[in-house]
Structure 1
Amino acid sequence: MSDRPSPSSNALTALEQLIQVVAQLRDPQGGCPWDLEQTPESLIPYMIEEAYESVDAIRRGDSEHISEELGDLLLQVVLQAQIAQEAGDFSLAEVAQGITDKLIRRHPHVFGDAQANSPDEVRQTWQAIKAAEKGEDESRLSSKLARYARTLPPLKASQKISKKAAAVGFEWDKVEDVWQKFEEELGEFQEAITQESRQRQEEELGDLLFVLVNLARWYDLDPEAALEGTHERFLARFSQVEAACDRPLSDYSAEELEAFWQVAKQKLAL
C-alpha cells in the first residue's frame, strides 16, 4: 500500500491551516486591524461578491480561477464561523456537522431504506423532509414564496414567486392582460416620479419590474440571461467608445459620445 496521504487527509490538513490563519488574523494581540473590525453583517457584501465570482469562473470553465474563487468563498465561511465562535454562538465544526447530518437526513434513499429512482423523486423527498424540519405547512404556498423573497437575489426571487403563483392559478388569462398591467404600472411609476416620495417611487419601480418579470415568463424568456446579455453588449460597445477617444470621456459632449456609440454598435454588429 502507498504511504502517500489520501486526498481527504490533504484537504483536512489544508483546511486546518486555513482555520489557524483566520484565527491569527482575528487575534486581538497582533492580528489584522481590518479583519478584527469585521462583523457578520459587514462581511455580507463580500460573501455575495465571492459567490458570484465563483459562478462566473464556473461558467467560463476556467479551472484555475474556479479553484481560486472557491477558496475566496471558503474564506468567508471560515471567517464567519470564527467570528461566531468568538461570540460563543457556534463553531466551524458545528457548521460542518450540521450540514453532514442534514445531507444524511435528506437522502434516506442513500443512507436509509427509502427508495428514489429518479431526480424528481429525490427532489420531492428533499422538499418534504425540509418542510417537516422547518415546521412548514406545505399547503401554504405563501410561506415558501416568503422564503424565496428572503433568501434569493431579487430578480431570481421574482422569477420564482411569479412561476409558483402562476402554477396554482394566480395568473392572467392572456398575455394582453399582462401588457395592460405593464402600461398601468408604467403610468403609476411615471406619476410617482413627479409627485410622490422616494419610498413610493421605489415601490412603483418594483411593481413595474415585477410585471416585466411576468412578461418574460409568458414569452418563456430568462430575464437574468437577458440582462447579462445587455451588460456584455454595453461593455463591448463602451470599450469601443473608449478606444476611439483620445482624451477623457468627460471632455466630450453627449452628442459626440452618442456618435461614437452608434459607430461602435455598427462595428460590433458586423
Structure 2
Amino acid sequence: MSNLQKKNQTQSDADTLAALQELIDVVAKLRSPDGGCPWDLAQTPQTLTPYVIEEAYEVVDAINSGDKQAIAEELGDLLLQVVLQAQIAKEYGQFSLQEVAQAISQKLIRRHPHVFADVSVQSVDEVRQNWEQIKAAEKGELSPENQKLSTKLSGYARKFPPLMATMKISQKAAAIGFEWENIDGVWDKFHEELREFQEALAHETPERQQAELGDLLFSVLQLARWYNLDPSEALQGTNQRFIHRFQKIEGFADRPLSDYSLEELEAFWQEAKAQLAKDG
C-alpha cells in the first residue's frame, strides 16, 4: 500500500469513527432526562426486542433486493438497535458499547487462530470445525450435562425462529440415528399427523388442536428436510405469489373488493394466476 493509500485509509477510518460517535451522541441525547425524547426514554431492553428482530429481517430483505441505498439504510436501523441497547445497559451500569465492541473483537480473534495465531487449516470445513470447538469450550458446552443432545436442542428452541429451530432440531436428531429409514416413513408420519389434526379439530379442545397443528407442521418440515428444500424460502415465495396475484385482482376490479362475491373474487384469482403463469 502506498503512502497516499495509507493516508486515505487513515482518513476514512477517522471519518467512520466520527460518524459512529455522532450516532452514539444522538442516542444519548434521545435518552437524556434533560430534553430527551419521551418515547426513547420509555424504552427498555425488552420493549426494544421486537424492533431488533424486525430490523434484522428488513436488512435481509434489502440485501435480497440488491438496492445499495436500501441496504445501507436498513443496516443503519439495525445499528441503531445495537447502540440503543448498549446505551440503556450503560445507564443501568451493566455494560457499554465499548465493551460490546471489545468483546466481539476478542471473540473473533479467539475463533480465528489460523489468522491471529499459528494454527494451520486446509479448508473451509476445518475453519468451521475449529470455530465450533472453540465456541463449545467458551460456552462450557464440553461439560457432561451440556453434551447432552436435549440440552443443545433446548437451546435451538429458545434462540431461533420456529422454522429454523425445527430444522436444526431434526437435523441434530437425525445425525445420531433418530431418523426414518426412507422417505416412505416420512410420508406415513405426515399422513398420521394430518389425521390426528383433523380428529382434534372435530373432537378436541383448542389446546389439543394447537398441539396437533404443531405436530403436523413439524412433519411437513421433515419432508422439506428429506427433499433438501428450504421451508423459509418456500413460504416466502408463496407469500410473494399471493401478493402478486392480489395486485392483479385489484387491477381487475372497478370497485372495492368487498363489494364482490366470493365466486367473483375466485374468478379474478384464477385469471390472475393464469396471467402470472403466462408472464413467467
**C-alpha distance in 2 between matches for 1:154 and 1:241:** 32
Q: Does 1:89 align with 2:94?
A: yes
Paired residue type of 1:115: S
- TM-score with structure 2 setting the length: 0.92
Tell me which residue corresponds to 1:110: 115
Q: Does 1:64 align with 2:69?
A: yes
The equivalences for 1:176-215 within 5 A come to 176-215=184-223
Paired residue type of 2:109: I
**C-alpha distance in 1 between matches for 2:149 and 2:157:** 13
Paired residue type of 1:238: F
Matching residue within 165, 168, 192 for 1:157 = 165
**C-alpha distance in 2 between matches for 1:142 and 1:121:** 26
Q: Does 1:244 align with 2:248?
A: no
Native 8 Å contact 1:145 1:161 kept in 2: yes
Matching residue within 21, 26, 31 for 2:31 = 26
Moved more, 76-85 or 130-139: 130-139
Q: Does 1:222 align with 2:230?
A: yes
Q: Does 1:7 align with 2:6?
A: no
Runs of 4+ displaced beyond 6 Å: none
Alpha-carbon distance, 1:193 to partner = 2.5
CA pair 6-142 structure 1, distance change in 2 beyond 3 A: farther
CA pair 39-197 structure 1, distance change in 2 beyond 3 A: farther
**C-alpha distance in 1 between matches for 2:46 and 2:93:** 17
**C-alpha distance in 1 between matches for 2:125 and 2:117:** 18
Moved more, 126-135 or 188-197: 188-197
**C-alpha distance in 1 between matches for 2:132 and 2:275:** 50
CA pair 192-28 structure 1, distance change in 2 beyond 3 A: farther
Gaps of at least 5 residues in structure 1 are none
* Number of corresponding residues: 270
Encode CA deviations 1:202-258: one digit per residue, 9 max, x unaligned: 221111111100011112222112111111111110000111112211121111111
Calculate the aligned-residue CA RMSD, in Å. Answer: 1.6
Tell me which residue corresponds to 2:80: 75
The equivalences for 1:100-139 within 5 A come to 100-137=105-142, 139=147
- TM-score with structure 1 setting the length: 0.95
Identity of aligned residues (%): 63
**C-alpha distance in 2 between matches for 1:139 and 1:23:** 42
**C-alpha distance in 2 between matches for 1:261 and 1:13:** 53
